[in-house]
Structure 1
Amino acid sequence: MPSPSTPANSRESGLSRRAALAAVGGIALTGFAASPAQAAKRADTALSIRGADLSFLPQLEEAGVHYRDLAGRVRPAERIIAAAGANHQRIRVWVDPPAGYTDRKRALALARRAHRAGLKIVLDPHYCDFWADPSKQPIPAGWPTDLAGLTEKVRIYTRDLVRDFAAQGTPVDIFQMGNEITAGILWPVGQLYPADGSQHWDEFATLLKAGITGALQGAGRRPPKVMLHIDRGGKLADTRWFFDNITTLQVPFDIIGQSYYPMWHGSLADLRANLEDSVARYGKPVLLAEVSYPWTFEDGDGRGNIVTPDAVLPDLDRFPATPAGQAGFYQALREVLVGVPGGNGLGFLVWEPEWIPGVGWEPGAEASNDNLTQFDFTGRALPSIRAYRKP
């Protein structure tokens, strides 16, 4: 998800522009499309991945926030979602963020907590010192700025990061190569749509392959599945444009990751059409790496929210911004994913469902997501928490 400073029009990042495609060598990864036997097995469990990104959780706890389950019992947020049926936790990690935000040390501590709760790890390195999304992907301060130096730095950084997770007994199950990389990574070297009209697809692919290589080297004998994550949940043409280029450039990956926020990415019908097209076109399963939906239009900290009553929510008539409406949305989302042919709708990761008032998106800022959570403003779980159930 973009930080609140992201201009709204930055989400339309020029994916309709034409580009010259160049085929280059890549790393061979085992395909992850479901065989009939795998599809039948997945049908028994409905969705194989059900989880959330809880990267703000330590900061919220440090601010004095407590969470309660549906019965009113105080428990850690990761334990609440695990008890509801979640099996994965996504962890964001920045290179050198402001004090208190999720750096490597904090990410590793989060992984230990997730592991104790029975949750597998989805690792989301941003390759930035702070927020990375389609409007901004700056190179971390102190990193090289030439392609050769940056490529090696990405490989080594990723190798060491994934190795650290494995070494403490919390191996990465899914490795996400960058965050919402629709417009590239590590700008300007790997930027796809700079203002001058040039497109750096070859450089972008080189950097992606370096990170993927590093992840596999760091994991050792337990390689993670590799996900490429863009922000085009219901936008079929843009998704095709990105992954047509990626496959032509032979970037190896296992999972197509999408952000799906209805106010930016269309209706559930749009989402269904895009996911089904991606599975048929690329032979890869799909995962909603980020998703959220409002349970209210009220503002928990009185300092502004991203999603207001003026937001365009295509299915608002079916799923109003109420606790029950939010729960209905997640049920419909599950049905969309279960309906993806061949068992290739892997599941979903809710984005920061615990981010209630108490911590800002940057030091001193507001909690701009507090009406998109799965806990109310007091920290009590909302009915949508049941979306994590297995069957």
Structure 2
Amino acid sequence: MKNKLFAGLVALALTACGKSPKGDMQIYPTDDEVAKGADISWVTEQEKAGIKFYDASGTSQDLYKILKSKGMNAIRLRVWVNPADGYCNAQDVLLKAQRAKDNGMDLMIDFHYSDTWADPGKQTKPAAWKNYNFTDLKAAVYDHTFSVLTQLKNKGIKAKWVQIGNETNNGMLWEDGKASVNMKNFAELINEGYKAVKAVDTDSKVIVHLSNGYDNSLFRWMFDGLKANSAKWDVIGMSLYPSATDWEQKNTACLTNMQDMVSRYGSEIMICEVGMPASEAQACQSFIKDLLSKVKSLPQNKGLGVFYWEPQSYNSWKSYKLGAFDDTGKPSVALNAFMN
């Protein structure tokens, strides 16, 4: 509230001086206007396995409350169509989303359109959709998206942002939606997801998400192609996983790319995933703090926020070593970046 009041007073002062608050001087978004979040899709599986999370004093505490105490205000959850173990299906997502709502946190839903991981190297159709023709595949994207979001809405849970696909560097639902083979098909799949999102809530913002946020040529190729094929989106999403030695260069390149995406397409920008080895917590803190600053610096407040991917992973859970908790199950200094 204080930040908003301050920003309003600055705007009034600039207007009195004959300057537009959006013109000669950039007014940066306040902390409570920027998403500072985490993808914690593993949390129910971890809790079932007996994993516990601890605050700085070593007291066992609910993960959502720990993240909120670190300045986080949003949660991201992936959705799989029919996963073998049930985790990340619609029912599991609903349970985790309810906890986000109960903690007063915004929600991002990340549709993979697969029964398992979808990323730049694999975009495997759900088994139930394997033999669908393209018309049926588009209908499945719409129906699945609409169904999950409607289940959330019926519980009073709003999806503020919705990803249509995950790290879709070369499209999704291969081979039909492989962008390098048929960009038009990928654009049509994106539009089915877009229509479904807006049918549930016109205020939800649709994200198209690619990895390697520093790679401007990749982003231009993809979004030029989608635009040429009349695809619709609200937000361009990015992943960024630098090392402790190259994060400054990657952040600089990412800023250049973000600025280009804003000017070229008028899109808002979300950093949907970040991570760095847990052993490099101090460097990770500097990386996130700098990236948040760069996101906030985008013109017209087009920078929406930054999400850490599975920060609560520790002791090499699932062999993942890019979490932001230490080996005792407490947040590392990396997460302090979200408190600023």
TM-score by length of 1: 0.76
Letter in 2 for 1:330: I
Instruction: Report whether the alignment pairs 1:332 with 2:290.
Output: yes
Match of 1:229 in 2: 209
Instruction: Give unpaired runs (5+ residues) of structure 1.
Output: 1-34, 194-198, 297-320, 361-366
Letter in 2 for 1:269: T
How far 1:46 sits from its partner (Å)? Answer: 7.3
Equivalent runs, 1:308-387 vs 2, <5 Å: 321=280, 323-357=281-315, 359-360=317-318, 367=319, 369-370=320-321, 372-387=322-337
Candidates 231, 234, 238, aligned match of 1:258: 238
Candidates 130, 136, 161, aligned match of 2:122: 136
Candidates 194, 197, 218, aligned match of 1:212: 194
Hey, what's the Cα distance between the residues in 2 that align with 1:277 and 1:46? 25
How far 1:335 sits from its partner (Å)? Answer: 2.0
Equivalent runs, 1:98-137 vs 2, <5 Å: 98-137=84-123
Instruction: Give unpaired runs (5+ residues) of structure 2.
Output: 1-20
Identity of aligned residues (%): 29
Supply the RMSD in Å over aligned alpha carbons: 2.1
Hey, what's the Cα distance between the residues in 2 that align with 1:384 and 1:47? 21
Hey, what's the Cα distance between the residues in 1 that align with 2:107 and 2:291? 22
Between 228-237 and 44-53, the greater mean CA deviation after superposition: 44-53
Letter in 2 for 1:379: G
Match of 2:257 in 1: 274
Letter in 1 for 2:311: P
Match of 1:291 in 2: 274
Equivalent runs, 1:168-179 vs 2, <5 Å: 168-179=155-166
Instruction: Report whether the alignment pairs 1:162 with 2:120.
Output: no
Q: Is the 8 A contact 1:82 1:118 kept in 2?
A: no
How far 1:171 sits from its partner (Å)? Answer: 1.5
How far 1:45 sits from its partner (Å)? Answer: 3.1
Runs of 4+ in structure 1 off by over 4 angstroms are 39-42, 263-266
Q: Which has the higher contact order (CA 8 A, sep 6+)?
A: 1
Q: Is the 8 A contact 2:28 2:296 kept in 1?
A: no
Q: More helix per residue: 1 or 2?
A: 2
Match of 1:244 in 2: 224
Hey, what's the Cα distance between the residues in 2 that align with 1:43 and 1:101? 35
Give SS of 1:190's match. coil
Hey, what's the Cα distance between the residues in 1 that align with 2:317 and 2:334? 22
Change (3 A) 1:357 1:171: same
Q: Is the 8 A contact 2:184 2:226 kept in 1?
A: no
Change (3 A) 1:271 1:69: same
Give SS of 1:145's match. coil
Instruction: Report whether the alignment pairs 1:89 with 2:72.
Output: no
Q: Is the 8 A contact 2:213 2:257 kept in 1?
A: yes
Match of 1:147 in 2: 134
Equivalent runs, 1:14-33 vs 2, <5 Å: none
Q: Is the 8 A contact 1:47 1:338 kept in 2?
A: no
Hey, what's the Cα distance between the residues in 1 that align with 2:255 and 2:329? 32
TM-score by length of 2: 0.87
How far 1:359 sits from its partner (Å)? Answer: 4.5
Hey, what's the Cα distance between the residues in 2 that align with 1:87 and 1:208? 27
Q: How many equivalent residue pairs?
A: 315
Q: Is the 8 A contact 1:192 1:204 kept in 2?
A: yes
How far 1:256 sits from its partner (Å)? Answer: 0.7
